[in-house]
Amino acid sequence: MNKSTLKDLLGNLPLTAELYWTLRSRGQPVGNYTLRKLERLLPEWRAAVQTSRRDVSTLGAVQTSRRDVSTGKRVLLFATSRYWLEHAALLGMTLAGQGHTVSLAYLPYHKWQQPIGRFDLRRHNVYAQNVLQKAGPLLEIVPLLTAKKAAELPPALAEAIALTALRDTQYTLQVEEVNPDSDLYRLRLERNTDAARAALDWMGSHKPEVVIIPNGTILEFGAVYQTARFLGLPVVTYEFGEQRQRLWLAQNAEVMRQNTDDLWSARRDTPLTDDQLAQVRELFAARQRAGLYRNFARRWQGAPSEGGAAARAALGLDERPVILLATNVIGDSLTLGRQVFSDSMTEWLERTVTWFASRSDVQLVVRIHPGELITKGPSVADVVRRVLPEIPAHIHLVPAEAKLNTYDIVEIADLGLVYTTTVGMEMAMSGAPVIAVGSTHYRGKGFTLDADTWEDYFATLERVLAAPAAYRLTREQVDLAWAYAYRFFFDYPHPFPWHLLHIWKDLEEWPISRVLGEEGQNKFGKTFRYLVGEPVEW
């Protein structure tokens, strides 16, 4: 019997993996699954939390920005994978310091797209449990891997879990068409189902007052989110964008949907101040020139702006109307499930370029998202060439690696076509009409042309191309687009001390003791209250 076969056998026998880890590993990590930093810092965090709780309890009836222990909520946090588990433990300890009773449920998976033997998975589990127990008694640790599971999922929940597995597969392979018989889909369905069964039993019996989950759309995060929603429990999802010390969150919704309706409803009619307008102008200028802006940790272009004339010359464009089709990355989390009338973004691309193939009276520029340079899925260029083996001269493909600034093309565009990319919003800020076909956050905000059916989409194309100048945005619409951009970039993200990607660096500036103190609560207190379900005050 070889080692692999033996491990498969032992993985199904009770206590074998746990005993092996205890006797042989002596508390050490298993392979690359390590929580050393978390293990080192948990005692420090525990001391800070205990001090904070003592301080709060001595204040009696005095009003403070910190929640009194007696009014805290029963909170369930869920995480899987090492880095999210570290972040959830830090968040959980902070919430405990604010008076909440926190349970941290976890699954010990290291890689979401690769299978792992039961023996090694159980070793990961007992190692993680051993580390997390150092947060006790402030956190109740709930290892879902070994928790009691519901016998089966109700049909409606099972259907939601299957959709989550589909999203997982699309996201991993960065494709939109998925084979349900593939090994990856079956792996994701099995893991999501197991997570949902465990969460269904635990949440059904313990009934937390609020469930907090990162992302909430994909992987086991999505499975636990769907389970909480099925049970009717209040649930908050959160994620991080490119800004330091900022966090996105959504209550009873998937945060990656970026639903800004309530924010826009509250602030649409509030004009920007001069300082706010200057701030969003500075950000927009940084995006155009391929520079960094303040706390944003991302460059949006690979080449600085050289102006519209340079773009026209580089692409060989003449005076015929220019239509800019700005793409998303296929399979990106901001495109999956965002269809309005098409089956997918791919179908929209196929039908659109086919329609333009016979329209030599205009020039279509397909700007492929630079993000394709860091992904492994199929390119939009493959989609175009599949339906147009011989690309007409009036259709121009701008590859992801092209040293051509997208904003230079925006400058000369008469019309924009977008699925969910933010370029659509920025084209409107430049005054160009934009047809938004996907369910993007800025759709329906008053400055885009929003098609709801294929017939509506092609009819709108015909109308705009017949008289492009007549569809240029009014001054009021342009101002509206600028106001919305400010709200999206600066109001929608909430202040938060620790970004997932910079957690250890951020902790140097904002240790948990400082966050729990008066300064930290004045700066971040509202966000922590929103995370436990208090209504967001826009």
CATH of the domain at 484: 3.40.50.2000
H/E stretch holding 283:
helix 274-288
Residue 144 is assigned to a structural domain of this protein? yes
| 535 burial level (CB within 10 Å; 0-12, 13-18, 19+) | exposed
Q: Does residue 244 sit within a domain? A: yes
Half-sphere exposure (CA, 13 Å, Cβ side) for 122? 21
390 shares its domain with 527 = no
State the total domains in the chain: 2
279 in the same domain as 158 = no
Q: What pLDDT, on a 0 to 100 scale, did the predictor assign at position 298?
A: 38
3-class DSSP assignment, residue 450: strand
> Starting from the edge strand earliest in sequence, which strands make up the sheet with 395-398, in order?
395-398, 363-367, 322-326, 415-418, 434-436, 449-450
Q: Are residues 194 and 144 in the same domain?
A: yes
Question: Tens-of-pLDDT digits for all 538 residues of the chain?
Answer: 566 655 555 556 565 666 766 766 677 777 788 999 999 999 999 999 998 887 655 544 333 444 444 479 999 999 999 999 999 999 999 999 999 999 999 999 999 999 998 888 988 999 999 999 999 899 999 999 999 999 999 999 999 999 999 999 999 998 888 999 999 999 999 999 999 999 999 999 999 999 999 999 999 999 999 999 999 999 999 999 988 999 999 999 999 999 999 999 999 999 999 999 999 998 888 877 654 334 433 333 445 567 889 999 999 999 999 999 999 988 887 788 899 999 999 999 999 999 999 999 999 999 998 888 777 778 899 999 999 999 999 999 999 888 888 889 999 999 999 999 999 999 999 999 999 999 999 999 999 999 999 999 999 999 999 999 999 999 999 999 999 999 999 999 999 999 999 999 999 999 999 999 999 999 999 999 999 999 999 9
pLDDT for the residue 11? 55
pLDDT of residue 288: 73
pLDDT of residue 372: 81
Same domain, residue pair 205 and 342: no
464 and 342, same structural domain?
yes
Residue 263 forms part of a structural domain: no
Residue 499 and residue 475 share a domain:
no
* 438 and 476 co-located in one domain: yes
294 and 240 within one domain: no
Domain span holding position 522: 3-258+495-531
Give the H/E segment covering residue 316: none
Please give the Cα distance from 158 to 403 (Å, whole number).
46
| pLDDT at site 9 | 52
Same domain flag for 476 and 506: no
Token pair of 152 as six digits: 């089966």
Identify whether residues 114 and 171 lie together within a single domain. yes
Read off the amino acid at residue 296.
F
pLDDT of residue 65: 43
Establish if 538 belongs to a structural domain: no
**Does a structural domain hold residue 474?**
yes
Which letter, b or e, does each residue of 321-358 get, where b requires 16 or more Cβ atoms within 10 Å of its Cβ? bbbbbbbbbbbbbbbbbbbbebebbbebbbebbeebbe
Closest CA relative to residue 144, chosen from 221, 72, 238 = 221
* Predicted local confidence at residue 24, as pLDDT: 66
* Domain shared by 443 and 507, yes or no: no
For the record, the structure tokens of 444 come out as 């329906």
Residue 242, domain member (yes or no)? yes
Burial class (CB in 10 A: 0-12, 13-18, 19+), 526: middle
Burial of 223 per CB tally in 10 Å (0-12, 13-18, 19+): buried
**AA identity, residue 268:** R
One domain, residues 517 and 501:
yes
Classify residue 68: in a domain, yes or no.
yes
Q: Please choose, from the candidates 77, 76, 58, 75, the residue with its C-alpha nearest in 3D space to the C-alpha of residue 66.
A: 58
In a domain, 276, yes or no: yes
User: What per-residue confidence (pLDDT) applies to 8?
Assistant: 55
Residues 294 and 489: their CA atoms lie apart, in Å, by 12
